[in-house]
Amino acid sequence: MICKNCGNKYDGRTVGFRTLCENCGEYLHTCLNCAIYDSVTERCRSLTTEAVRDRKNINHCEEFIPNKGILPEADSGEVKTADDFKTLFSLDGE
């Protein structure tokens, strides 16, 4: 997984409630580092989890899934979507 605070890659097999990032010292078991957290709506995608007030800080959510290890892109994703569309429909002249 990738720490959303500093971008450091965490290679541990599990992320415990009190696991810290080796680079910045922030807790890794947070909403922001969870694969089911939607950063656009700033809410959890799970319908069965309890609401967490401070999504950037440690929590004890049992539904936590470490993020896939992908750093967030600087752009909004529109360029990638356009490229995917062109590839899907072979609009690039191939």
- pLDDT tens per residue, range 18-44: 999 999 999 999 999 999 999 899 899
Q: Give the global pTM.
A: 0.69
**Residue 25 half-sphere exposure, CB side, CA atoms within 13 Å?**
0
Query: And the tokens for 39?
Result: 């950063």
Residue 65 has a pLDDT of: 93
Closest CA to 5 of 70, 63, 76, 56: 56
